[in-house]
Amino acid sequence: MDGDKNDQSTVKAAVIGGGLIMVGALQACYLAKRGFQVDLYEGRQDIRTVEEAKGRSINLALSVRGRAALHHVGLEEEITAAGIPMRARRIHNRAGGLHNQPYDKDGQAIFSVSRRNLNEKLLTKAESFPNVKLHFQHRLVRADLDKGELQFTTSSGDTVTATHDITFGADGAYSAMRRELMRGNRINFSQEYIPHGYMELKIPPTEDGGFAMLPNFLHIWPRDEFMMIALPNQDHTFTGTLFVPFAIFEKVQERGEDGVIEFFTKNFPDAIPLIGEESLKNTFMSTKALPMVSVKCYPYHRKDKAVLMGDAAHAMVPFYGQGMNCGFEDCVVLDEILNKHNNNFKTALPEFSQVRSPDAQAMCDLALYNYVEMRHLVNSKLFMLNKKIDDFLYWLLPKSYMPLYNMVTFSRIRYSIVISKWKQQKKFVRFCLISALFALPMIAGTGYWQRSNLSGHRRFNFHWRNIRWEKIGSKQR
């Protein structure tokens, strides 16, 4: 389909997915700003009308990429104002000790934001455009993408068919849109479940209504093989998430309530009074650990008729806090490409696949790496030394050196380039350390020679082939 800035209002776009993944709702806003006629379809109820939304949990950490995307639709300030800035990791060891690891030398922060609040704000923003229609409880069951025909089932069991010029699939890791796109198309696809699951735990406010811990931190309890994190909420609670191998979850639950308290007493003793014994028991005995999946595919598009975005294209495990930020950045990247190609989807969609796929796949890999860092490496002395070296070089060479976390979280450098720069910087640091190790004996030797020569006892004769000491008289030249 050829777009033209003079006839955008005639282009009918469908967006599949407007729920807790949220990329669809944001993409509807981007399309509406271009003047397209947009229909947003969501399988669940309108989250704004239900008391408790079912689906994914895990709090969201909003960073620069996501903020840039929200800024484009005028929501950045409203969302960050409702979030809580976290400027450092706060590490809890088994003995109850604490230490902080700031994210950035300039005090930059990531924001703990409510998934529900963000979803509601995006839906309301999309609904504010006169050229956007929201359709809830419409679940995609079939699509003929070349003809633009989409078939939905509704909550009442009816079948609804709609026709559109182009379809955007943003319906999550288990995407129905991706399934339809893969029919008859040569699409590479991989899906990997990690052996760890997650369970959400609530930390209530103190008796006087305050935060139970310092709020401007991402709290982490790293335990090598597993970990727990906690993010602050506006109501002075914390949302805790326990990440543990499924095999350990099962053993703990098999032992019943006593097993739960034993597990926490051994691994997270300071968290027991924060969460409460009864709450721990009830949660473990009534809740199953949920899986985490990493999804990669390529290409993302079908001709000029359909394209995948967000988790539908690249689901990732949550350990870098980039799932939402990466999905939101998809909207920005596609918008920039549409500007470049004057809304011509025939040329824009292939470029989006080509540009975005390597970046998203790189971020999927970084997310898995960061789990190892968070649950294990943050406790090691070598990690803390490397972090100090990173921070020093960032301070010394701010225009040419940036730590990995900062590149991912506080910049819009392409994820694939981030990995390339990170590898180069690791080589540079390794070279500096090795050079320093070789230079220290030389410096020490030179210093000793200078002191000895002044006293007239020794002289240090250096030759490129050898180093030799030689006794000389105090008056000898």
Per-residue model confidence (pLDDT) at position 392: 87
Write phi, then psi, for 318 (nearest 5 degrees).
Answer: -85, 15
> Which is it for the CA torsion 405, 23, 4, 356, positive or negative?
positive
Three-point CA angle 7, 8, 12, nearest 5°: 115
Q: 50 by DSSP, 3-state: which?
A: coil
pLDDT of 81 higher than 80? yes
Three-point CA angle 8, 160, 301, nearest 5°: 50
Going from N- to C-terminal start, the domains of the chain cover: 8-368, 382-477
Q: How crowded is residue 154: how many other Cβ atoms within 10 Å of its Cβ?
A: 14
Residue 366 contacts residue 408 (beta carbons within 8 Å) = yes
**What confidence tier does 467 reach under pLDDT thresholds 50, 70, 90?**
very low
As a 3-state breakdown, the chain gives helix, strand, coil percent values, each rounded to 5, of 45, 25, 30
Residue 184 contacts residue 302 (beta carbons within 8 Å) = no
pLDDT of 1 higher than 80? no
**What confidence tier does 325 reach under pLDDT thresholds 50, 70, 90?**
very high
Q: What is the topology classification, in CATH, of domain 8-368?
A: FAD/NAD(P)-binding domain (3.50.50)
Write a three-state SS string for 246-284: HHHHHHHHHCHHHHHHHHHHHHCHHHHHHHCHHHHHHHH
Cα–Cα dist 67/240, whole Å: 24
Terminal Cα-to-Cα distance of the chain (whole angstroms): 89
**What confidence tier does 468 reach under pLDDT thresholds 50, 70, 90?**
very low
Taking the model in full, what pTM does it have?
0.88
Cα–Cα dist 259/265, whole Å: 10
Cα–Cα dist 164/210, whole Å: 51
> Which is it for the CA torsion 455, 456, 458, 463, positive or negative?
positive
**What confidence tier does 466 reach under pLDDT thresholds 50, 70, 90?**
very low
**What confidence tier does 276 reach under pLDDT thresholds 50, 70, 90?**
very high
Residue 454 contacts residue 446 (beta carbons within 8 Å) = no
Q: 89 by DSSP, 3-state: which?
A: strand
Per-residue model confidence (pLDDT) at position 389: 85
pLDDT of 438 higher than 80? no
CA dist 7 → 36, 149, 311, 387 (Å): 9, 21, 31, 53
> Which residues lie across from 203 on neighbouring strands?
238
For residue 173, the surrounding DSSP H or E stretch is none
Tell me the pLDDT tens digit for each residue of 203-237.
999 999 999 999 999 999 999 889 999 999 999 99
Cα–Cα dist 311/371, whole Å: 19
Write phi, then psi, for 57 (nearest 5 degrees).
Answer: -110, -135
Per-residue model confidence (pLDDT) at position 21: 78
**What confidence tier does 450 reach under pLDDT thresholds 50, 70, 90?**
low
Per-residue model confidence (pLDDT) at position 473: 40
> Which residues lie across from 242 on neighbouring strands?
199, 228
What's at 56, amino acid-wise? R
| Closest by CA position to 64, among listed 10, 24, 13, 103 | 103
Tell me the pLDDT tens digit for each residue of 354-371.
999 999 999 999 998 888
Residue 61 contacts residue 218 (beta carbons within 8 Å) = yes
Cα–Cα dist 363/65, whole Å: 13
159-163: strand order across its sheet = 138-144, 149-154, 159-163
Give the lowest-confidence range in 305-314, 425-434, 455-464.
455-464
Cα–Cα dist 193/136, whole Å: 29
The DSSP result for 186-253, as a single string, is --EEEEEEEEEEEEEEEEPPPTTS--SS-SSSEEEEEETTEEEEEEE-TTS-EEEEEEEEHHHHHHHH
